[in-house]
Copies of this chain bind each other. A is one copy, B any other.
């Protein structure tokens, strides 16, 4: 017990903050703490110094210290118990499902992503697309169909629908730039998205595109993304090869 406390103390004493930095104090503290946890300098199960003393040592106020700790609690790295203390839950960092594009995900994972644009252009919205985007049925929407590769293996067939006027670029651009990046570049800020994940058997045409056999199990993902004003700016229905892709997420009790 004493041994462990001393170790934690020693580790904590390595922390410091830079008050001249534009990075918020609470975030600096959170990042340094996370680094210690990731490197297992603070292994899973170890207890942190209580927040008041911790704040004192770092020279920050208690609310700021609490905010840093809460940030890591929300990410599932720390656990707090009233009357007891704060403990490290685990060291491995599993990124939870985030609001990023598949392209970014693959790139971060070091797999070389590539995109093939199958088609793009205005089409009359079906009932499903119109409902998702909150547009009158039959109105024109922009349809984009792309095939995503990683390391020259097809991974996903992505079909997206956008209200008219959201992105206005040459079709070739979609091969080199992520859709979300383009939407953001057009001045839309996506803050919230609803997703539904399911599964389906591959029909023969989709199977051929994805180098799978007809009937192969595919992961389906439907997503509606909303901008600042609460207006739907993108509706996508994607299918992924289950042999090559899966969704990972970390759940944290609130």
Contact = CB atoms under 8 A, between A and B. Distances in A.
A248 B194 contact: yes
Stoichiometry, as copies per complex, reads: 2
Contacts of A198: 219, 242, 245-247
Given A79-B228, A253-B99, A219 B197 contact: yes
Interface string A231-245: 100000000001001
Nearest to A74: B74
Interface stretch (A105-113, A166-174, A210-218): A210-218
Interface centre among A192, A194, A195, A196 (most CB of B within 10 A): A192
Contacts of A204: none
A76 B201 contact: no
A161 interface: no
Interface stretch (A28-36, A83-91, A143-151, A152-160): A83-91
A250 B45 contact: no
Interface residues on A, range: 35 or more
Given A197-B219, A198-B242, 20 more contacts: A44-B230, A79-B191, A81-B228, A89-B226, A89-B230, A90-B192, A98-B251, A99-B251, A99-B253, A192-B253, A194-B249, A194-B250, A194-B251, A195-B251, A197-B248, A198-B245, A198-B246, A200-B217, A217-B217, A219-B219
What 7 A-B pairs come out closest when comparing CB atoms?
Answer: A44-B230, A199-B199, A199-B242, A198-B246, A199-B217, A217-B217, A76-B192
